[in-house]
Amino acid sequence: MRKQMKTLIDRLARGDSLRPAEYEALIAQSDPEVMEYLFSRARKVQLREFGNKVFLRGLIEISSYCTNDCYYCGIRAGNANARRYRLDADQILACCERGYDLGFRTFVLQAGDDPFFSRDVVCGIVRRIKSRWNDCAVTLSLGEKSRDEYEAYFEAGADRYLLRHETANPAHYGRLHPDDMAHESRIRCLHDLKEIGFQVGAGFMVGSPFQTDRHLAEDLQFLAEFKPHMVGIGPFIRHQDTPFRDFPSGPLQKTLVLLAILRLLLPRAMLPATTALGSIDPHGREKGILAGANVVMPNLSPDEAREKYSLYDNKLSTGAEAAGGTRLLREKLAGIGYEIADGRGDWQPRAKEIGSCTTS
Ligand code: 5AD
The per-residue DSSP string of 161-196 comes to EE---B-S-HHHHHHHS-TT--HHHHHHHHHHHHHH
Q: Cα–Cα distance between 246 and 284 in angstroms, integer?
A: 23
Residues in the chain predicted with pLDDT less than 70, given as ranges, are 323, 351-360
276 CA from centroid of ligand 1 (Å)? 8
From 244, 258, 181, 253, select the one nearest 208 (Cα to Cα): 244
Q: Is 177 in the pocket of ligand 1 (CB under 6 A)?
A: no
At residue 326, the pLDDT reads 86
At residue 152, the pLDDT reads 98
Q: Is 66 in the pocket of ligand 1 (CB under 6 A)?
A: no
At residue 350, the pLDDT reads 79
At residue 317, the pLDDT reads 78
Q: Cα–Cα distance between 265 and 245 in angstroms, integer?
A: 33
At residue 84, the pLDDT reads 97
Quote the pTM value.
0.95
355 CA from centroid of ligand 1 (Å)? 38
Contact 106, 56 (CB under 8 A): yes
At residue 319, the pLDDT reads 74
Query: Which CA distances in Å does 186 have to 171, 181, 193?
Result: 14, 8, 11
Contact 79, 241 (CB under 8 A): yes
Q: Is 239 in the pocket of ligand 1 (CB under 6 A)?
A: yes
Q: Is 309 in the pocket of ligand 1 (CB under 6 A)?
A: no
At residue 353, the pLDDT reads 55
At residue 352, the pLDDT reads 57
Element (DSSP H or E) covering residue 234: strand 230-235
Residue nearest ligand 1's atom 13 by CA: 164
Q: Is 236 in the pocket of ligand 1 (CB under 6 A)?
A: yes
Q: Cα–Cα distance between 125 and 347 in angstroms, integer?
A: 23
Ligand 1 pocket test, candidate residues 172, 231, 312, most atoms within 8 A of CB: 312
Ligand 1 pocket test, candidate residues 73, 200, 240, most atoms within 8 A of CB: 73
Q: Is 232 in the pocket of ligand 1 (CB under 6 A)?
A: no
Phi, psi (degrees; rounded to nearest 5) at 58: -95, 120
Q: How far apart are the first and last CA of the chain?
A: 44
Residue nearest ligand 1's atom 14 by CA: 164
